[in-house]
Amino acid sequence: MQMKLFVNGKEVEVPTSAMEKRIVEFLREDLDLTGAKNACDVGACGACTILVNDEPSRICIKLVKDFGGQRILTIEGMAAPDGTLHPLQQAFLDCGAIQCGYCTPGMVLTAHAFLLKTPHPTRAQIRHAIVKNLCRCTGYQQIIDAVEKAAPHYHREERRLQAASTSEKPAHEDTEETTG
Amino acid sequence: MSQPETKCWRNDAYAKVTGKAKFTDDLKFANVLHAAPAYSDCVHARIVSIDTSAAEKVSGVVRVLTAKDVPGENRFGQIIRDYRIFADDKIRYHGDVVAIVVAETRAIAIHAAQLVKVNAEPLPAVLDPEAAMLPDAPLVHEHHGSNIVNTHVVRRGNVDDGFKQADFVIEEKFQTQTIEHAYMETEAAVCVPRSTDGVLEVYGSMQHPFSTRRFVAACLGVALSEIEVIGTPMGGGFGGKDDTAAIVCARAALAAKLLGRPVKMVYRRDWSMRESYKRHPYRVHYKMGLTKAGRITAVQCRIVADGGAYCSVTPWVTWRSTVQCCGPYVVENVHCDTFGVYTNNVVAGAMRGFGSPQMNFVIEQMVEIAARRVGISGIEFRRRNLVRQGSITITGQKLDGHKVAMAQALDTVLREIDYEKKLARCSHGQSKLRSSRREEAQTETAQAQSLLTSAAAIQDDELYGIGVAMSYRGVSLGAEGVDFCAAIINAQADGSIFLETGIHENGQGSESAMSLICAEELGVDLKRIRYRRSSTSNIPDSGTTVASRGTIMGGGAVTLAARELKMKIAEAFCAKLGCPMDEVRFKDNFICGRSDTERIAFDDAMRQMWQMQNFPFALGTFKAPRVSWEEHTGQGDAYFTWVYGCQAVELTVNKNSGKVRLLNAVAAHDVGRAVNPEMVRGQIYGGMAMSAGYALHEEVKAPGGMMTTLNLNTYRIPRSLDLPEMKVIIIENPDPLSPTGAKAIGEPANEILAPAIANAIFNATGQRHCSLPIRLGALPEPVACEEGCK
């Protein structure tokens, strides 16, 4: 049976010939999702980070076959279909957190995964959360500003989800799927 | 928390935050081939032959190219043409490329490149720059006749007299390490032969599209007009994407030209680390004469910069070190000898700071050592010697064409960080106090903690220190090169506007700064302006986007273009507006006469100009004001203007492990005028971070000349947890010589945190570290001042 991935809310069938590829190459070359960057090949810099079931994953050292049935979010899935930025992305713009932009996709996704779990973070917690994502331009200061600025959106989402579950409505999809 | 005061605007931010921005490796072309470089295992060797047969036999390999395939020039360089596109006669360092393999896939190219064999006779390698200067040293470039690439001097006053006047003479030796730019995107190129007109399109990650075009054209032996270098988003440069990046483009271009297919060459991190040029390691011997009154009477220094295997821009880097060899201090008697030297080490070239980070590491520690010798505070010593309005620099330049803001920057930082109070609470110098009056000492420590702006409290096993450093810096290229820049403003018949400049978007936000300047000068909304992706076939050669010259030179050109365009528009409409040309004003998307009621909407005006057969088009050229330099005396007006900056840092040192923890950092920089304030802050934060890495972590290692630091897991750039919360204060003193008033920030931000850290470590531990990176082991209890360098 052919392996499937769920990429940015869409089902993707993986050709058998692609199973042994590195997943960063599969996403970039076969799916044309070039937001994930391949900057070190050894899992050291975080520029290739995507989310797998809401957990950050460094995909330059992983193979496609290891991701069967997994739910993948890439940077291309963060904004709404009409192009409206996710509040976290907007915060990166507002805070001047983007310079060369090469680390940005991985940084945004790492921060997104963190805020989903920790919607009331301290700056120290944010600093810890992004430690594996290298940035040479910004000194991280404005990135931390941006993550902090976006946090209220995640509290609201958290409250909304809690309200939804207590009223026993069908569970809402989580943020990236509603926006992606 | 530090909420941004101004909303930041960037024309490329949306594309970058959504992953839509297409960097070189993201570009796709049909029928593309891939290229990979082949290296030798040698450090210094004479090439006998290169055997490419095994690589050529691999299925999928299309061609293997070596020096003999280059139809034009194989050697290039901005100063000395010694850098090879492919090593031809000798291997001169571990990163020399002997061949590239071009194949149907990247994997095949990489595999086959390992099969290229170099038959070479080993030569003795010269790896120590001082040894390389000796007469019997093996020569890296025989025809150069010596391993000394260049010398510079400063001869001012009479140092012998200066030292005679001195009450004290202090002397130290300093050493700095080789560091890597570590841009997140490695070197990359895609070259595409255009079928319609035969022009070769070059997309690549580089800071200097025009020199890339020059080298590609020379390599292929074709006219400049046959090569079009197209601006492509770039994942960081920091000075590192000049020479090597152009060579990578030339290699891919050669393959594309010979094979008639697009060729992509994206560097793997280990190739990039092995081959790309680095920041020069320096050795500096520094001697300073002082009076009891705390004045510097003389400076004598000898600077040796290891330039590695090729010249690159070593003469220019070392020139800046020479001009700025006394930092922002007035010294009447100076004798400086600077040497750029060839060795078989990795090539050294431009890196953010360009010869100043090394010298500031020296100078800003020397002034602290001097102050202690004289018996005054480092701050007071600085105040007694620093440059002020009208001061004469060590090269004889009078600082009077702009606001000399050295004292302003220093005062701003000291006030913000509460320096004096915190200095008194540093661990060093308190040991006696501690042993005799332990309880009071503990109270002192508690006070020190309460003063910290950072939440991080000082632990029992940590020593606390605060340190400061400051600099002035000549803006743009100075007397080292031709310095002018072009901008084109092309308004359309509906009032929308194309803007293009000869400055390259390196990630710093230059396109946004240029657009903001244009909108402001024309009095129109930013949204009208579309920054046109630059092409070397459209905009005149404006030089390289380095030397913190983007905003001052590009912005200057945009302002001049906008002023010319306004003249054209004013001339066309002054009669209608009923006022003389020079009274026409441009504001809020209107062209106005004497009163705001007499006005024409900008869109209408542009439509009417089209109908009048009058193009609202302007080319602006900004030429750097005159500079001068006499090489044999080292005297002259080296730079047309200067910037001033100061940074301070608080840290702790763990007594058991020597681990340094940065707690807080503050910077103040006079930037002339902040065009895009949040981006200015970004430059400063990033510069401080990079300088912290320089001080504490970063070092490229190459035992025996063989590079062993090959990736970001072994080369440690600062991570989020390595850095403190940072505070930036922008000082604005608009510069009369800059059409926009703006000056520079990219490099000033990156040249002083390392000495501030070294000074803070001294104030924590009593240990003076004169070698980079600073390595601390377990520490003895701080003792009374011991100035000797570790």
pLDDT of B788 reads: 61
Residues of chain B with C-beta less than 8 angstroms from the C-beta of A7: none
Distance of alpha carbon B249 from alpha carbon B232, whole angstroms: 13
Q: How confident is chain B (790 residues) per 10-residue block, as mean pLDDT?
A: 54 97 98 98 98 98 98 95 97 98 98 98 98 97 97 98 98 98 98 96 96 96 98 96 93 98 98 98 98 98 98 97 98 98 98 98 98 97 98 98 97 97 89 43 51 64 97 89 92 98 93 96 96 93 87 95 98 96 96 93 97 97 94 96 98 96 98 96 98 98 97 97 98 96 96 98 97 88 55
pLDDT of A176 reads: 41
pLDDT of B789 reads: 63
Residue B440, both tokens? 């009071």
pLDDT of B451 reads: 52
Distance of alpha carbon B336 from alpha carbon B330, whole angstroms: 15
Residues of chain B with C-beta less than 8 angstroms from the C-beta of A93: 8, 10, 13-14, 17
pLDDT of B61 reads: 98
Q: Smallest Cα–Cα separation from B620: which of B741, B484, B517, B486?
A: B486
Q: Is the pLDDT of residue A174 over 60?
A: no
Q: Smallest Cα–Cα separation from B298: which of B171, B468, B470, B153?
A: B171
Distance of alpha carbon A20 from alpha carbon A105, whole angstroms: 24
Residue from B17, B23, B504 to probe the interface with A (highest A Cβ count within 10 Å)? B17
Q: Do B507 and A135 touch (CB under 8 A)?
A: no
Q: Which residues touch B303 (CB under 8 Å, ≥6 apart)?
A: B282, B283, B284, B318, B321, B322, B325, B336, B337, B338, B339, B359
How big is chain B, counted in residues? Answer: 790
Q: Which residues touch B602 (CB under 8 Å, ≥6 apart)?
A: B495, B522, B523, B524, B528, B586, B589, B590, B591
Q: Do A136 and B19 touch (CB under 8 A)?
A: no
* Of A42, A79, A138, Cβ closest to residue B18: A79
Q: Under CATH, what is the fold of the domain A79-166?
A: DNA polymerase; domain 1 (1.10.150)
pLDDT of B755 reads: 98
In single-letter form, the type of residue at position B235 comes to G
Helices (H), B156-224: 159-165, 209-220
* Of A28, A89, A142, Cβ closest to residue B682: A142
- Work out the percent of chain A whose per-residue pLDDT is above 70: 92
Q: Do A142 and B690 touch (CB under 8 A)?
A: no
Which residues pair with residue A55 across a beta bridge? A52
The separation between the first and the last C-alpha atoms of chain B, rounded to the nearest angstrom, is: 38
Q: Do A101 and B21 touch (CB under 8 A)?
A: yes
Residues of chain B with C-beta less than 8 angstroms from the C-beta of A33: 19
The shortest C-alpha distance from B726 to chain A (Å) reads: 7
- Chain centroid offset of residue A24 CA: 14
Burial class of residue B460 in the structure, from the number of CB atoms within 10 Å of its CB (0-12 exposed, 13-18 middle, 19+ buried): exposed
pLDDT of B782 reads: 53
Q: Do A33 and B10 touch (CB under 8 A)?
A: no
* Of B184, B268, B725, Cβ closest to residue A100: B184
- Max intra-chain CA distance, chain B: 90
Q: Is the pLDDT of residue A59 over 80?
A: yes
pLDDT of B692 reads: 98
pLDDT of A178 reads: 37
Q: Is the peptide bond before A119 cis (omega within 30 degrees of 0)?
A: no
Distance of alpha carbon B391 from alpha carbon A155, whole angstroms: 57
Measured between CA atoms, the residue of chain A closest to residue B14 is: A93
Residue B114, both tokens? 């390992």
CB pairs under 8 A between A and B: 188
Residue B163, both tokens? 């030292």
Q: Do A96 and B682 touch (CB under 8 A)?
A: yes
Which residues pair with residue B789 across a beta bridge? B768
Helices (H), B166-302: 209-220, 243-259, 269-275
User: Which residue bears the tokens 């409206």?
Assistant: A84
* Of A41, A130, A136, Cβ closest to residue B720: A130
Residue from A93, A141, A149, A176 to probe the interface with B (highest B Cβ count within 10 Å)? A141
pLDDT of B708 reads: 97
Q: Is the pLDDT of residue A167 over 80?
A: no
DSSP for B443-475 reads HHHHHHHHH-SSSPPPPTTEEEEEEEEEEEEE-
The shortest C-alpha distance from A50 to chain B (Å) reads: 12
The CATH-assigned architecture of domain A1-77 is: Roll (3.10)
Residue B552: HSE in the Cβ half-sphere, 13 Å Cα cutoff:
32
pLDDT of B458 reads: 87
Measured between CA atoms, the residue of chain B closest to residue A45 is: B712
pLDDT of B244 reads: 86
Q: Smallest Cα–Cα separation from A144: which of B767, B90, B721, B93?
A: B721
Q: Smallest Cα–Cα separation from B249: which of B465, B24, B424?
A: B24
Chain region(s) in chain A for CATH 1.10.150.120: 79-166
Q: Which residues touch A74 (CB under 8 Å, ≥6 apart)?
A: A7, A8, A27, A33, A35, A36, A50, A105, A109, B19
* Of A44, A99, A124, Cβ closest to residue B712: A44
Q: Do B269 and A89 touch (CB under 8 A)?
A: no
Between the alpha carbon of residue B41 and those of residues B45, B274, B304, B620, B681, the distances in Å are 10, 12, 28, 50, 44
pLDDT of B479 reads: 79
Residue from B6, B7, B10, B18 to probe the interface with A (highest A Cβ count within 10 Å)? B18
Distance of alpha carbon B564 from alpha carbon B744, whole angstroms: 24
Strands (DSSP E) contained in B635-789 are: 642-654, 660-670, 725-731
pLDDT of B172 reads: 98
Residues of chain B with C-beta less than 8 angstroms from the C-beta of A131: 719-721
Which helix (H) or strand (E) element contains residue A164? helix A141-166
Burial B543-574 (b: 16+ CB within 10 A, else e): bbbbbbbbbbbbbbbbbbbbebbbebbbebbb
Measured between CA atoms, the residue of chain A closest to residue B2 is: A145
Residue from A25, A33, A137 to probe the interface with B (highest B Cβ count within 10 Å)? A137
Chain region(s) in chain A for CATH 3.10.20.30: 1-77
Q: Do B1 and A145 touch (CB under 8 A)?
A: yes
